[in-house]
């Protein structure tokens, strides 16, 4: 590795605290994007922004850039700029134990700002080295937290690299997600007949009761080693003395197997129709396929690159399957082989979210090695061929 390209713990701390102090819930990433654009522009890197924000009702588009040095781009490094919506203030600090936390009981924002800080600092280090390095690309998406919206609207043809690495998996640095599920969501609206609950309840048809019957008929939770289903939102009724004429439920199902996912989704839809029929109400169902599964083998060049980069740091790479989705699902589905690396963030989306400075330093080191080692594993690299017996 370039000798001068060693992560600075002081600079990583500065970047991470700056980024996490910026509120950037989905569809409101403008201030975060401007900070990142400013840092990259100061390095002489021109940042492009697409029109995703105006297309999805947000204030910011996806950002992408080419960090030009030697040759054509060899790898894309990716992360997202948005967070889930915080329920309180975000006031991050680095504790004496070397762990970043929030002083208030809400998210920290390390998902995914740890990744953004690591990628930006890796770029600072390579630019400051004064030495040649492989050309690479950066993609920072928006509205990832509400169904990978930014990546769905991004034109992947703008990227020229043969593979990509997302930094958006929870867990200590060293994990490599090579398999993630397909995901369907639905919104169902039950429409019944309102009536006074005490005077003439027999004149009403309860939309809430229909929804309850539908949910009771569903198989929810962990269905098997590859599949899950959940009802996450139930909303209906306006008063205890009124038979509710409207109830909406929202849910999802996931599976690493497309055929299984289709069966689970069909069973949930059948349950909703049966619940509506049992009470005599109508139901409108909107089922959406959010993204498709991906599965990379250990023979994939980008997997082998990720393993080599982590091993070079003295870490033991761990290949695993995830139950959640990421921008890697979208990029893989569009033909760009993409791994999703653990970014050191723990207990994300919760008031106990935290991230250690040690892991942030390791994440930046991983980004540097991925960039510097990528040419070896690309189509023309010496390590591009799969070793015999692997």
Catalytic residues: 82, 144
d(C-alpha 194, C-alpha 79), whole Å: 48
Between CA 125 and CA 128, with CA 127 as vertex, the angle to 5 degrees is: 65
Q: Which two tokens stand for residue 163?
A: 């593979």
The C-alpha torsion from 291 through 351 and 79 to 64, rounded to 10°, is: 100
d(C-alpha 170, C-alpha 177), whole Å: 10
d(C-alpha 116, C-alpha 78), whole Å: 8
d(C-alpha 50, C-alpha 388), whole Å: 43
d(C-alpha 111, C-alpha 344), whole Å: 9
The packing angle between helices 30-41 and 110-129, to 10°, is: 10
CB 372 within 8 A of CB 127: no
Pairing outcome for strands 246-255 and 227-236 = antiparallel
* DSSP structural state of residue 386: P
Q: Which two tokens stand for residue 128?
A: 């400051």
Residues sharing a CB contact under 8 Å with residue 384, sequence separation 6 or more, in sequence order? 301, 376, 377, 378
Q: Where are the alpha helices (DSSP H) in the chain?
A: 9-21, 30-41, 52-56, 110-129, 149-152, 207-216, 258-279, 301-312, 327-333, 357-377
Q: Across the strands, what pairs with 195?
A: 243
DSSP structure string for 50-87:
-SHHHHHT-S---EEEEE-SBSS---EEEEES-BPPPS
347, with CB counted inside 10 A (0-12, 13-18, 19+), is middle
């Amino acid at each position: 590795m370039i000798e001068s390209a060693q992560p600075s713990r002081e600079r990583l701390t500065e970047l991470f605290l700056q980024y996490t102090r910026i509120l950037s819930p989905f569809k409101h990433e403008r201030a975060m994007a401007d900070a990142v654009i400013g840092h990259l522009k100061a390095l002489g890197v021109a940042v492009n922004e697409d029109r995703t924000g105006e297309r999805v009702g947000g204030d910011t588009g996806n950002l992408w850039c080419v960090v030009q040095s030697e040759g054509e781009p060899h790898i894309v490094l990716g992360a997202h700029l948005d967070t889930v919506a915080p329920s309180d203030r975000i006031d991050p600090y680095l504790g004496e134990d070397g762990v970043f936390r929030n002083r208030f009981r809400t998210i920290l924002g390390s998902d995914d700002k740890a990744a953004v800080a690591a990628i930006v600092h890796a770029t600072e280090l390579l630019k400051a080295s004064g030495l040649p390095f492989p050309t690479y690309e950066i993609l920072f998406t928006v509205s990832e937290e509400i169904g990978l919206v930014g990546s769905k609207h991004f034109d992947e043809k703008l990227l020229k690299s043969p593979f990509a690495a997302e930094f958006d998996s929870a867990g200590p640095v060293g994990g490599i997600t090579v398999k993630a599920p397909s995901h369907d969501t639905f919104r169902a609206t039950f429409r019944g007949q309102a009536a006074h609950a005490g005077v003439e309840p027999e004149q009403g048809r309860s939309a809430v009761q229909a929804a309850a019957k539908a949910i009771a008929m569903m198989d929810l939770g962990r269905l098997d080693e590859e599949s899950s289903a959940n009802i996450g939102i139930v909303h209906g009724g306006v008063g205890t003395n009124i038979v509710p004429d409207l109830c909406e439920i929202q849910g999802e199902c996931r599976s690493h197997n497309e055929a299984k996912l289709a069966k689970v989704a069909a069973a949930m839809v059948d349950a909703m129709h049966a619940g509506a029929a049992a009470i005599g109400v109508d139901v409108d169902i909107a089922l959406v396929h959010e993204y498709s599964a991906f599965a990379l083998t250990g023979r994939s060049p980008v997997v082998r690159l990720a393993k080599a980069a982590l091993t070079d740091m003295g870490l033991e790479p761990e290949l695993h399957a995830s139950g959640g989705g990421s921008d890697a699902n979208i990029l893989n589905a569009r033909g760009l082989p993409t791994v999703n690396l653990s970014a050191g963030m723990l207990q994300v989306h919760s008031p106990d979210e935290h991230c250690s400075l040690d892991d942030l330093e390791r994440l930046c080191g991983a980004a540097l090695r991925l960039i510097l080692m990528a040419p070896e594993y690309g189509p023309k690299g010496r390590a591009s061929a799969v070793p015999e017996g692997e």
